[in-house]
Structures are given as C-alpha cells and as structure tokens.
Amino acid sequence: MEKLTKPKMIIMLLISIITTGYAQKVDSEFSGYIETSFIILLLLIAVTGVLFLLESQSEGRSILNLMPQLLWLKDRLTDAKPVEKEKDILLDHDYDGILELDNNLPPWWKALFYVTIVWGAIYLLWFHVFQVGNLQDAEYTEEVRIAEIEKAALLGPGAIDENNVTKLTDPIALSTGKETFLKHCAACHGRGGEGLVGPNLTDDYWIHGADIKQVFLIVKNGVPEKGMISWKSQLNPVAMQEVSSYILSLRGSNPPNQKPPEGVMVNFN
C-alpha cells in the first residue's frame, strides 16, 4: 500500500513547481510556457489519478466494486481471456514448445481501428473528392498570400517611417514598447533607461535629438560606428514606433545610477 506513495509525492512536487510559474507576470514570451506546462500538468494529474486507482485496487477495495457502471464499462473495454485462463484457448499445435494462442483483441482497440477507417473516408472525400479543404501546397500558398498582405501593410506605401511617425501615448502601446526595450535595449541603455554603454535616455540631453522622428530614425538605422545597432531588420515599424514612444515616456523618470548627460540639452516646450 505504501509503495505508490513516493511516486505520488514526486508528482505532487512537480505539479507545485510548474504552477508556481503561473504567478509570474504574463507576457508574450511566457505564453509558450503556459501552453506546454498546461499539457504536462494534465498528464501529471491523469497519472496521479491512475496511481490512486491502482492503489485502491491493491488494497482490495477496488473502485470497480463501488461503481457497477464502471464494471459494465470494463467488460465492454476488454473481452480478452485473462492470463490465468489462457490455457483454455490454446490452439492445438506445438512447435518445439512454441504454442499458439488465439485471444480476442480488446474492443477499445478495434473501435480505434474502425474510427481510423471512418476518418480516412472523411479525409478522402473532404480533401480529394470534393476538395473542400486545402492540401499542403494550397495551404502554403494561402499563408504566403496572407503574409504578403501583412507585410505590405507594415512596409509598403503608407507604412510608418521617420517622416510620418507619431508619438504614441496609449498605455498598451507603451507597455509593448517597454517589453521590446527590456528585451533588446536594456543591455546597453539600462533597464530603466539610465544609460550604460549607450546614453541615458531619461534626461533632457540628447545626441541625436528628442523628437519622435529623430528617435525613430536612430532606432531604425542605428549609429553603427558608435555601437548603436540598426534595428530595422529585427523590429517592424510598429515595434520601432512603440519602443521610441516608450523611451520618450521615460523622460524625467529619474532612475538610480544615471549616466552623466551626453549631447545637448533639448528644450521640450
């Protein structure tokens, strides 16, 4: 009875480790964790359930005796002769001690097999006979078509560039801008924009100007000879607009460990 307790405790531990992750702030990088860990969680819970079932079986108070419906289900799920009775269904040959046994396949297994046949028929009709669904080639072409449209909206005529960019102020845009900043820029500009390798982005002094158009242009093209990367190949114009707006929102936030001013003082009035 005690023998299953250890695995159950390990599983409980795993479940609690995984769920502590959920207390984290939810951002885009985190959502992948939620999906995978959720599946693992379900599996662990299922395994725990099975362990509990097995344990109650081995203690002689089988859950099957408590619930006749389950007993009915169990009979439906397997009509194979149990191992103890296999000698009744041995066939009549003996090849050097190798005996042949003709037991029934479990009905659930056969049911799965029939399901695959029905599924195959549906698939054939859907994709090949009536051609309702897209096959891989068509699916690919369709995805490329949609991606082209999205790309044109971001990069084609009318897309955001340094000539028409405006400073965003809505909290959602600024918080995506913040995410981009923490991911790509904080290493050089500090987590609060206080400056590190790159200049302080929170004071009133700017090397290249503090207008949204000037900031956008620097983010887009960088200053490669001074160590500021060009971001246009990694961030789309919307992301560059958001992160530029976020940077400008940091003005006067007065983070600790600020780098001394560089460039010229900008008059913000």
- In the complex, the residues that contact ligand HEC under the rule CB under 6 A are 184-185, 187-189, 197-199, 206-208, 215, 218-219, 223, 226-229, 231, 243, 247, 263
Nearest one of 44, 52, 1, 2 to 19, comparing CA atoms? 44
Residue with Cβ nearer ligand HEC (37 or 230)? 230
Q: Which is nearer to ligand HEC, 154 or 187 (CB)?
A: 187
CA distance 227 to 195: 13
Q: Could you tell me how many residues make up the chain?
A: 269
Which tokens in the block code for residue 92? 């009549």
Give the pairing type, strands 264-265 and 205-206.
Answer: antiparallel
* Least spacing, CB of residue 166 vs ligand HEC, in Å: 16
Q: What's the closest the beta carbon of residue 146 comes to ligand HEC, in angstroms? A: 27
In the bound state with ligand HEC, the residue whose beta carbon lies nearer, of 46 and 223, is 223
Reported as type and span, the H/E element at residue 205 is strand 205-206
Cα–Cα distance, 81 to 103 (Å, whole number):
7
CA distance 240 to 9: 49
Which CB, 18 or 188, lies closer to ligand HEC? Answer: 188
Beta carbons of 228 and 197 less than 8 angstroms apart: no
Between residues 4 and 188, which has the closer beta carbon with respect to ligand HEC?
A: 188
Q: How far is the CB of 173 from ligand HEC (least distance, A)?
A: 14
CB of 203 to ligand HEC, least distance (A): 9
Catalogue the E-assigned strands of 57-125.
90-95, 98-101
Tell me how far, at minimum, the Cβ of 32 lies from ligand HEC, in Å.
22
